[in-house]
Chains A and B, each alone.
Chain A
Amino acid sequence: MEREIPGGYNGRILRVDLSRERIDQVDLDASLCRRLLGGAGFIAYFLLKELPQGTDPFGPENKLVFASGPLTGIPLGGCARHTVGAKSPLTGGIAKSEAGESWGPQLKRAGFDALIVEGRAHRPVYLWIHDGDAEIRDASSLWGKETRETQEKIREEVGEARASLAMIGPGGENLVRYACIMHGCFDAAGRGGLGAVMGSKNLKAVAVRGDRMPPLKDPQAVKRMAAWLKDHMDLVKAFSDYGTGSPMPRFEQVGNLPVRNFRDGGFPQVERITPQTIKGTIRVGMKGCFACPVQCKKEVEFREPYHVDRIYGGPEYETLAALGSACGIDDLKAISKGSERCNAYSIDTISTGMSIAFAMECFENGLLTLEDTGGLELRFGNAEAMLEMIERIARREGLGALLAEGTVRAAQRIGKGTEAYAMHVKGQELPMHEPRLSKALGLGYMVNPHGADHMDSMIDLFFSAFTAQPTVAVPDLIPLGMEPAPLDDIGPRKVALFKAFQAKRIVADSLVLCHFLPYSFSQVAEITSAVTGWETTPMEQIRVSERILTLCRLFNLREGITDEADRLPERFFYPTQDGPLAHRSLSPDEMERAKRYYYRLLGWDDRGVPTPERLEELGISELEG
């Protein structure tokens, strides 16, 4: 059992109880570092260990955990990230989401590996964490403000223009169940409703600033990896040049682009909303996260027909599709305005877009009327209606109050069979890649403990090859024995490949490392060794991912979220109305078999319950029950 704090960690956690206005600095248990790494691993551990069963996500007893990992803040591309988690008001299970910018590196430099917030402040407050110290400050005058103004006023108040802000706008304050936490004005810990948890605690923002990075074991090895990245920037050139989404035209061609709430297949006007078009029209710059050479964040600005402020960045791929094609909208300026408003209000663009798409389909089928929509013609393609719904959702006005609950609760309230139009897993709206096209992606959506999530899923088509036969081959998993699997298949080989892929992603979310950087699994282990001093390998890190996934599973089972919740919406068992997927759908039996096999690979039983032997093997038996 490790007793000394490894390189890359401070060994300190900041605990804040807002009800009691109490701040404590506690030691990090050194034995957790190697077994869970940080980020998503720490979040799974602390939430399972410290939250009682049945905790109200909006109650003071819920805990909001901001966790860095050993790689957070090191001078290497992709290492600016941290993870945020809590019990989700959207799914009722465990939530976690990552963000970039410089908040995580600043927390690390301020002397802390994690921040755990509990309780509920008696009035709006913000936290100011700086150089080994922390204080609770009044935020009454900031309540109701958008994120830009919040950031400006807090920086002014603390007298530190370089302070990083994790904050919420009106969406978080109004407990929109998919409110996000903005880090700066264009980086979101987007999913799971973490911004609503922050709002429920009357916590407007957490400002951080620090200058003391804990020592790394082998800084020269980190420098060598940075030099390798510099020599291999062609691997990320598409991101540097265009940000996320440059393959959108091809996504549409093959059927990966969701169209009209995943109902339709074709969206021939896709070229109007691509990053290529953005670059040639409304883009005014590119930005990036702390110490990252990729600079993948778009900045857009224009004044007509709306004013869009570049401080809110520009639409990512997920936003272009969620507010765009998924709502049948091809108006780039309207989508960009929607992206800006979501970032100003702190609401997740994916769940916002999919909630509006759900309502549009209900309206077109006569299940919502003009009376329900307050006179809005809420049809697919109506950009002005989409923008108006963002306003109403953030403020919980009219139909917006219903959609702010997420698609599952909205469908339950409306009834009339509208559940069929709620595109979600475990209550979290689907992201913008089509599972009918990539079966492992469908499995990833099903079994992710946080609900439908693309970041920890493998999109089969991105790794396809047609050498001897159509296969999926993930190059850096081949040395781990993960042979290529048949392309259009979800048999045991594909499931095993997906599980190994998911392991790498969970490890990245725990170190915490950006998924867009081109490091192989072996290189990820090398970087970990350089920072911490451990002689580690991908094999050990896969084991860590299994431990983390099992902790998440135990959390969800304790909340009554069982294997029944690991399923896709019915829609995906039928083809789309038109387009490239007009003759393609998933088989429910095949996906069920794949799910059971995935459970077996994790050492869980047929119902997805971790076996006692597995818990003992992973060294987490004491956390069950």
Chain B
Amino acid sequence: MGVRIQMPLSLRERIGMEEMVEVEGDTVGRCLEDLTRKWPELKGELLDPNGRLLLRWTIYLNGRPPSSSEELEQYVSEGDIITLLPLVDGG
């Protein structure tokens, strides 16, 4: 089993994906790239042209959010779960 990405409900409903999508890659960023290779329609929904995660998403790795802005550089290994969550913030 490789790394799995848990997809948010909003994208699952719109694109008709499963909740868990298996991807390949040794960092969070490369896993997301693999995801967008498999689902090209997701590319502009998740990443900006510089390959950065859009502000409307946050990611958790194994249930924890990143502690720094270098979230896409985090290393992952087999069995890890990346969770993609919507984010709106204020307050």
Which residues on A are within 8 Å of B, measured CB to CB? 232, 234-235, 237-238, 241-242, 244-247, 249-254, 256, 270-271, 274, 276-277, 280, 296, 316-318, 433, 454-455, 459, 461-468, 470, 475, 515-516, 518
Contacts and interface: CB of A to CB of B under 8 A. Distances in A.
Interface in B43-91: 43-45, 47-49, 52-56, 58, 60, 65-69, 71, 85-91
Contacts of A250: 53, 55, 69, 71
Nearest to A244: B91
A252 B66 CA distance: 14
6 contacts: A250-B53, A250-B71, A252-B69, A274-B67, A455-B90, A466-B49
A475 B9 CA distance: 13
A465 B45 contact: yes
**Most interface-central of A249, A280, A461 (chain B CB within 10 A):** A249
Contacts of A256: 55
B69 A253 contact: yes
B8 interface: yes
A298 to B, nearest CB: 11
Contact of A245 (B71, B85, B86, B89): B89
A271 B68 contact: yes
Interface in B19-42: 41
Contact of A242 (B8, B53, B56, B65): B65
A237 B90 contact: no
A515 B10 contact: no
Given A254-B55, A464-B56, A465-B45, A317 B85 contact: no
Contact of A317 (B47, B67, B89): B89
Contacts of A249: 66-69, 71
Given A234-B9, A242-B65, A252-B69, A516 B58 contact: no
Contacts of A270: 69
Nearest to A437: B55
Contacts, number: 106
Given A246-B89, A249-B69, A467-B44, 5 more contacts: A234-B86, A247-B58, A455-B91, A463-B56, A467-B43
Contact of B67 (A245, A251, A276, A470): A276
A518 B67 CA distance: 25
Nearest to B55: A461
A468 B65 CA distance: 29
Contacts of B48: 464, 466, 470
Closest 3 CB pairs of A and B: A466-B44, A467-B44, A249-B69
Contacts of A470: 48-49
Contacts of A518: 86, 88
A247 B87 contact: yes
Nearest to A249: B69
Contacts of B85: 234-235, 237-238
B44 A317 contact: no
B91 A516 contact: yes
Contacts of A238: 58, 65, 85, 87, 89
Nearest to B66: A249
Contacts of A254: 52, 55
Nearest to A245: B89
Contacts of B52: 253-254
